[in-house]
Amino acid sequence: MTHLQQPAQPINLAQKASLIDQQWSPRVVAEMNDYQFKVVRIEGEFIWHSHPETDEAFLVLEGTLRIDLPDGPVYVKPGELYVVPRGIEHRTAAEGEAKLMMIEPRGILNTGHEGGERTAVNDQWI
């Protein structure tokens, strides 16, 4: 499916996440205006980074997401949503695997401006 086609059926986020074979590799499942909805599997800790140009939303599908912030961690459970405001340094983490949906503008790198080996290829659809 290309991003120009509309799906014929609702998107099952858990099913899409189960198709991802590599952790920390977000995959696009839908677009709305200039925003992408991405699913990702994570485990362990990511790198500290920020997105100076945009907020970033995390919706937990399975497991528990820990978002480390300068003032301390926030724990996000299945069915819960958390928005990291633009410019706030953060690090995502999970003890055991977690499956998430991220909502962010098209073209935003998962590592922000930090770059490095954890930077995922953008605009990969599943």
Cα separation values, 52 from 6, 102, 125, Å: 31, 17, 25
Q: Where are the domains of the chain?
A: 13-105
Instruction: Find the mean pLDDT for residues 3-32.
Output: 88
pTM: 0.86
How is domain 13-105 classified at the CATH fold level? Jelly Rolls (2.60.120)
Q: What is the mean pLDDT of the chain?
A: 89
- The confidence band for 8, taking pLDDT boundaries of 50, 70 and 90, is confident
CA 26 to CA 28: how far, in whole Å? 7
Give just the sign of the alpha carbon dihedral 113, 116, 121, 126: negative
Angle (CA) 68-23-48 rounded to 5° is 25
Q: Are 67 and 19 in contact (CB under 8 A)?
A: no
Query: pLDDT tens across 29-62, in order?
Result: 999 999 999 999 999 999 899 999 999 999 999 9
